[in-house]
Structure 1
Amino acid sequence: MDQMHTWVAELNKYNYHYYTLDTPLVSDKEYDAIYDKLVALEAETGTVLPDSPTQRVGGELLKGFTPHRHLAPLWSLDKAQNIEQLRSWNVRVHRLVNEYNTRNPENPLPDPCYAVELKYDGLTLNLTYRDGVLVQAATRGNGVTGEGILAQVKTIKSVPLTIPFEDGVIEVQGEGIMNLSVLADYNTRAAEPLKNARNGAAGALRNLNPKTTASRRLNAFFYNIGYADGVEFADHQEMMDFLRNNRFKVNPYLTYYSNFDDVTEQLAEIEESRSGLDYLIDGAVIKITDFRTREALGYTDKFPRWAVAYKFEAEETTTILESVSWNVGRTGKVTPLARVEAVELAGVTVQNCTLNNVGDIERKNLKHALGTRVFIRRSNDVIPEILGKVTEESDGGEIIFPENCPSCGFPLEMRGAHLFCNNKLDCKPQIISRITHFASRDAMDIETFSEKTAGQLHEELNVREPADLYELTFEQLLKLDRFGDKKASNLIQALEDSKGRDLASFLYALGIPNTGKATTKMLAEHFRDLTAVMEASAEELTGLPDIGGIVAESIVSYFKDPFVVTAINRMLALGVEAKAPEAPRPVSTNSFFSGKTVVLTGTLHKLTRDEAAERLEALGAKVSGSVSKKTDLVIAGEKAGSKLAKAQQLGIQVIEDEDELLRLLES
């Protein structure tokens, strides 16, 4: 039994560091070796400890949910739909505090201070621990009674099965979620893809088969202790420290403010960074931190007066799928575009949605969905995506997959889940898209050029490929509609200027399949010569950072195409330089910043952020845009928000004095 206790404690420590702290201590191989020995010992002895990690795989099918009466009620939150309503809530808080202090001058409440937390879009969990052991887990239900889901919650590896606090009973509240990356991975393998992360989490936790719950690899964040016997807290900070110290996963996006204007600025920052999160949120929660103030403010019939939910614009909604059209892109890929009944989503009116490809339509049960209601999601300011049908029935009109190119009539080829038109030389949308991409800012940066210009040049001057651009004359352009002397001379000059772009820009302009700006920049810096890139083997390419087999084969195949080689040679003959990049500047290896990963956040006054980043890189630092366990240093300017909070949560070194930063840069 001693050996079993040792292995269980060791595995639980590794789980805590991996799933809660995001700081792995051992490799998966090392973990699995101990886990397998524990499984064998449990089978041999017939004994399973209450906090054994083997319980997390899911047990037998349950017959039903057992009602659980919460030891303390789980309250809903009043909602503020905009900043004006939020300020009104804050005015009421101050009025109530002042009224209390007028009645109790001998023991007044402190000035209100605020905690700002994320508002998750998952399923509320209420966990009961007795003498340090998880004995029950329940849904919110009606706030008084929920459904017991202990077997399901035990499969969530960020939920501790035992905690150091062993002196009483506590109920801990949090949110069960499905990370978006986990959802995407799950849907690549699932026979029935999940429509969204919220439904994925809720469906898993309210599922009578815990093995189904385990298969969805849920996560959880914790933010409140609703009932506590044996421990008391003076304020929110103390309670959150208690949760962290007892191995609960607390989200690093938790900040504290004494000034309400800082609260509103933090809300704007959260909303701006929302699309970069790996989980769904639909707002933020603002709470008064002092517990004595909370008690004095009390509750309405439904809500605590000391907290409010600030709602963001919805990123998911439902609407009617009206029709599907098929568009041809730069690479010949033919993609479906859905027309939906107009609906407000994340502050804009949505009428078009992406369906990705043929395989996506079939996988999401959308083949017979015309005229039916569908889920749509918008994130990161891109065109919304259709997630699936609201109902499971195939009760709508059929989406017909085209057999021929909708533009040129060429027979389509199915490659994987995508349809392709292989008529590169005579398919108008492909030609116009290739020319437009070639001229774009991150590519050859041909000023005054647009997709409309590309279309006009193709239709009226038979420009079919980028090389044709460099044979245009002033006289030809003057004959075009809406081209006067100035516009024609400006375009000729812009084309001449573009010949001097560097190798990275030229490679990106070519539009090599499966390569983006980062890859083409890395190719240019490594090979420093166009011919060397064109002649590189797949083996050479896969030896470079971040290039896998698929990307390497795409690059090799692209430069084997005679059409491509001829076009490149034409451009070089017409004066395109594709110059090797400048030699990298010498980087210091013995400065304070050498070898460190640094994040800049907030406003600097004596340097711009770009200037600071350039100087840091010259001193050997790697400048990153996000804080993680790999971050060594955070430089926090004025009004630094969530990145600073996460750095403090992870114990990362922070420089908040700009003069100190300048001293280190100059030394």
Structure 2
Amino acid sequence: MNRMEELIKKLEEYNYHYYVLDDPIVSDKEYDKLYDELVKLENETGTHLPYSPTQRVGGAVLDKFVKHTHLGRLWSLDKAQSFDALRDWHEKNLRFIEGYNETHSDKLPKPEYILEYKFDGLTINLTYDEGILKMGATRGTGEVGEEIYEQVLTIKSIPLRVKYKGKFEVQGEGLMPLSKLKEYNENNEVQLKNARNAAAGALRNLDVKETEKRHLITYLYNIAYIEGKEFKTQEEIVAFIKDNALPVSKYHKKFSNMEDLLKEIEVQKEERLKQDFLTDGMVIKINDVKTQKLMGYTNKFPRFAIAYKFEALETSTRIIGVEWNVGRSAKVTPTALLEPVDIGGVTIKRATLNNLDDIKRKKLHLNERVLIRRSNDVIPEIMGPLKTDEEVYDIEQPKYCPYCHSKLYKEGVHYFCPNTLGCKPQLVKTIVHFASKEAMNIDGFSEKTAELFLEKLNIDQVSMLYDLKVEDLLKLEGFKEKKANNIISSIQNSKTVELKNFIYALSIANVGVKTSRDLAEHYKTIDNFLNASFDDLVAIEDVGDITANEIVSFLTDETSKKSIQSLFDHGIKVLDVEDSGDKSLEGLKFVLTGTLENYTRDELKNILENKGAKVQGSVSSKTDYVVVGENPGSKFEKAKTLNIKILHENDLKELI
């Protein structure tokens, strides 16, 4: 009993980190080993504690999301770790069908099996009614999940309308393509650990813009609830999904012979590594729906379906070095340099090391042999050290930035370089950020342009942009006179800037567009802001201790102060905030959708915000008004569903 309690506590902790925090602290292999031990103990003792992880489908529901009750339960699948286990399952199915047919005249057919990929992402459940997508939700506990309607809208393969008019729920998996994961990690300083966590983190992200950046896809494979229609086979279910223009995996195979099916699984062990999405096994389902219904469920699993889990691809190599990199967020992160090794046809030379605490927890050292794992992911995972008689060396955190030599500071488990405006590796993305529409609004700027400016023109401070001349740009590849004139003109025009834009342009950690606007509204002038104190900052709504510390740290850093002064020396004029005095819309929450005749979206947003309103990106039960123009999107539909007050352009005159 004590061992069962110990296993349950461990699995609960691992489950919380994996499903709730999206931050796994053990490998799947270690988790499965403990889980299987618990199952064995429960079967041997006949004791099934009600709080055992074997008695539930999934993790807890996060309170920060709206809870959603599924119309049909979303079941987990029992796992088979070997072909013998699949053969045993097949024999059980044969015995069930034979027993039924002996006592019933309506005979069940011999078992046919549908073989599908077991996708490794986040399970989603879509609700359609009257031909319209009404809801998207996570699986959660299987009966109650979390609403992620706005997030699933970013998955472009999901249609907003289908031809079937009855209400139904369709289940599938949200996935981040491996090519998109690689692309994301090449262009963002915060690295995504793997495609599974990237998809789960995106769909559970309240910032829908971040969800959209990850270019998720989905494959749908089951219908747990439908009104006005019945299916005879699993094949019919898949055909119905496809017939409604919903995304379905191309891989579906039917088998009447278990040995043939096992041979196909052997083939797919290699073939799945060629896919652009993560799979961690195969799913086998009985094709006949009547047989499915008669076989039924345990308290957790369907008896008519099972999952076969692939073993992770693992090998050993040596850590030969550690490279410290700096991103735009100023975070300094380590990357392990490995002796090149082949896993599944891919040569692995590098692996992510999250931070020094992670290195210490895994007890990793230089010159040490380590076990690495690749699950057809882009970034391999270092599982831990292997015993060795060779001399190993500690991995030390640098005290100074490896590029600009500024003294690093620690926040939580991460180290940061404070020199956001003068550290060269940060500068490419810092310059792009500085030039962005929400900051200095310099047209024609891309990451490629910023890289050219750094490499060819030695731009190592954002203020140096204001020294550029047309003839400097004409020396660069791809720049003709018109393009060069346009960029130089835009740079010069940016010298007069609103306070909120200037604050955002400074790239202060945790200070986004909204916080920049709030700071500008509070301080009114650039001088007031530059003298901001911690106590004054935390008194501002939505500015917490962490953000206040980031701002004070930035404003008191000598390098930052020199960079800001250099901008002023180059003619930057920051406009004071004029207090309109009209806060008639204070506290009201608006959402804008569709094309307006007399305003651009940004113009109306500024007008509303200047009157104290908050403009949201998505509709929720807390939204007060949805402003609707021509060709409105799904926000209009959701507003009607939630009975939110709709405003048309003519209605705005009374408000503004």
Give the alignment's TM-score, normalised by structure 2: 0.50
User: Aligned AA for 1:277?
Assistant: L
Q: Which amino acid aligns with 1:218?
A: A
- Mapped to 1, the partners of 2:386 and 2:72 lie a distance apart of 43
Aligned counterparts, 1:406-555, within 5 A: 408=403, 415=410, 416-419=412-415, 428-430=424-426, 434-451=430-447, 454=450, 457=453, 463-473=459-469, 489-555=485-551
Cα 1:375/1:336, change in 2 over 3 Å: farther
What CA deviation, in whole Å up to 9, does each residue of 1:378-415 have, x standing for no partner?
xxxxxx776x55x6774799998466679559598573
Give me the whole-angstrom Cα distance separating, in 2, the residues matched to 1:263 and 1:341. Answer: 52
Whether 1:561 and 2:568 are equivalent positions in the alignment is: no
Whole-angstrom distance in 1 between the partners of 2:492 and 2:314 = 50
What are the Cα deviations for residues 207-226 of structure 1, in whole angstroms up to 9, with x where unaligned?
Answer: 77877859996249644379
Is contact 1:181-1:278 (8 Å) kept?
A: no
Q: Which amino acid aligns with 2:372?
A: T
CA distance in 2, matches of 1:291, 1:633: 33
Cα distance in 2, alignment partners of residues 447 and 482 from structure 1: 16
1:259 pairs with one of 158, 163, 178:
163
Task: Give the 3-state SS of the residue equivalent to 1:568 in structure 2.
Answer: helix
In the other structure, the counterpart of 2:84 is none
Asked if 1 retains the 8 angstrom alpha-carbon contact of 2:72 and 2:143, the reply is no
Letter of the 2:25 counterpart: P
Match of residue 334 from structure 2: 336
Which letter does structure 1 place at the counterpart of 2:511?
T
Give the C-alpha shift of residue 529 in structure 1.
0.7
Q: Write the deviation string for residues 207-246 of structure 1: whole angstroms up to 9, x where unpaired.
A: 778778599962496443799xxxxxxxx99xx9xxxxxx
Equivalent-residue separation in structure 2 for 1:429 and 1:288 (angstroms)? 50
Give the alignment partner of residue 249 of structure 1, picking from 124, 144, 159.
144
- The answer to whether the 8 Å contact 2:328/2:429 transfers is yes
- TM-superposition CA deviations, 1:555-603 (whole Å, max 9, x none): 22322233333332332233101223454584545xxxx85545566x6
Say what the alpha-carbon RMSD is for the aligned residues. 6.3
Asked if 1 retains the 8 angstrom alpha-carbon contact of 2:174 and 2:218, the reply is: no
* Amino acid in structure 2 at the alignment position of 1:540: D
Give aligned pairs, total.
457
Question: Equivalent of 1:625, from 614, 617, 640?
Answer: 617
Equivalent residue letter for 2:572: V
Partner of 2:643: 653
Equivalent residues of 1:337, 1:352 under 8 A apart: yes
8 Å contact kept, 2:537–2:548: yes
Find the counterpart in structure 2 of residue 141 from structure 1.
none
Question: Are residues 249 and 217 of structure 1, via their aligned partners in 2, closer, same or farther at CA, if it must alter by over 3 Å?
Answer: closer
The amino acid of 2:144's aligned partner reads: K
Q: How far did residue 506 of structure 1 move?
A: 1.8
In 2, Cα distance between the equivalents of 1:640 and 1:204?
A: 47
- In structure 2, give the amino acid aligned to 1:537: S
Tell me how far 1:643 sits from its aligned partner: 8.8
| AA matched with 1:553 | N
Q: Which residue of 2 aligns with 1:218?
A: 60
Q: Once the 2 structures are TM-superposed, how far is the Cα of residue 541 of structure 1 from its aligned partner?
A: 0.5
Q: Answer whether contact 2:219 2:248 (CA < 8 A) is retained.
A: yes
Residue type of the alignment partner of 1:372: I
1:182 to 17, 20, 30: 20
User: SS at 2:438's partner residue?
Assistant: coil
Q: Report if the CA contact (8 A) 1:634-1:653 is conserved.
A: no
Alignment-derived partner of residue 298 in structure 1: 232
Cα pair distance change 1:291/1:621, threshold 3 Å = same
Residue 522 of structure 2 aligns with an amino acid whose one-letter code is H
Q: Name the residue aligned to 2:186.
A: none
C-alpha displacement of 1:335: 1.8
Q: Name the CA shift for 1:561/1:618 in 2 (closer, same or farther; >3 Å).
A: closer
Distance in 2 between residues matched to 1:646 and 1:178, nearest whole Å: 34
Offset of residue 477 of structure 1:
5.8
Q: CA deviation at 1:531?
A: 0.7
2:104 matched residue in structure 1: none
SS of alignment partner, residue 501 of structure 1: strand
Q: Deviations over 1:634-657 (max 9, x none)?
A: 678979659956984xxx3146xx
| Deviation string, structure 1 residues 59-85 (Cα, Å, up to 9, x no partner) | 9765999xxxxxxxxxxxxxxxxxxxx
| Cα deviation code 1:90-111 (max 9, x no counterpart) | xxxxxxxxxxxxxxxxxxxxxx
2:144 alignment partner, SS class: coil
Deviations 1:39-78 (A, max 9, x none): xxxxxxxxxxxxxxxxxxxx9765999xxxxxxxxxxxxx
Contact 2:592–2:626, Cα closer than 8 Å, also in 1:
yes
> Any stretches of 5+ residues in structure 1 without a counterpart?
1-58, 66-148, 157-176, 228-235, 241-246, 345-349, 378-383
Look up the equivalent residue of 1:278 and give its one-letter code: R
- In the alignment, the residues of structure 2 paired with residue 548 and residue 425 of structure 1 have an alpha-carbon distance, to the nearest angstrom, of 24
Partner residue of 1:193? Answer: 25
Deviation, 1:537, is: 1.0
Q: Secondary structure at the match of 2:514?
A: helix
Change (3 A) 1:305 1:371: same
Query: CA deviation digits over 1:576-634, x for unaligned, max 9?
Result: 01223454584545xxxx85545566x67989993897487688764433344534566
Shift of the alpha carbon at 1:445? 3.2
Give SS of 1:259's match.
Answer: coil
Structure 2: any 5+ residue segments left out of the alignment?
43-48, 62-67, 76-127, 130-134, 136-141, 150-158, 177-198, 206-215, 250-275, 281-311
* 8 Å CA contact 1:152, 1:205 repeated in 2: no
Aligned residues with identical type, % of pairs: 27
Opposite residue 259 of structure 1, the aligned amino acid is K
SS at match of 1:470: helix
- Aligned to 1:578, the other structure's residue is in SS state strand
Structure 2: distance between partners of 1:351 and 1:547: 42
Query: What letter corresponds to residue 163 of structure 2 in structure 1?
Result: N
What one-letter code is carried by the residue in structure 1 that aligns with 2:203? L
Among 601, 610, 633, the residue aligned to 1:610:
601
2:332 is paired with a residue of what secondary structure? Answer: strand
3-state DSSP of counterpart to 1:326? strand
| Residue 277, structure 1, aligned to residue 277, structure 2 | no
Q: Are the aligned partners of 1:410 and 1:422 in contact in 2 as well (CA < 8 Å)? A: no
1:509-539 deviations in Å (ceiling 9; x for gaps) = 2222342332222212221211100111110
Structure 1 residues 181 and 407: CA distance shift in structure 2, 3 A:
same
1:112 aligned partner: none
Aligned equivalents of 1:252, 1:375: Cα separation in 2: 29
* Residue 97 (structure 1) aligns with: none
Q: Are the aligned partners of 1:372 and 1:395 in contact in 2 as well (CA < 8 Å)?
A: no
Report the AA paired with residue 618 of structure 2: S
What secondary structure is seen at the aligned counterpart in 1 of 2:518?
A: helix
2:173/2:220 contact within 8 Å kept: no
2-side partners of 1:251 and 1:425: how far apart? 40
Q: Please list, as runs of the form range in 1=range in 2, the aligned pairs for 1:15-414 lying within 5 A after superposition.
A: 62=4, 182-184=20-22, 193-194=25-26, 213=53, 218-219=60-61, 222-224=70-72, 249=144, 259-260=163-164, 276-278=202-204, 283-284=219-220, 287=223, 293-294=229-230, 297-299=231-233, 311=248, 314=277, 325-330=323-328, 333-337=331-335, 355-363=353-361, 372-374=372-374, 388=381, 394=386, 401=395, 408=403
Which residue in 1 is equivalent to 2:283? none
C-alpha contact (below 8 Å) 1:504/1:523 kept by paired residues: yes
User: What's the CA shift for 1:549?
Assistant: 1.9
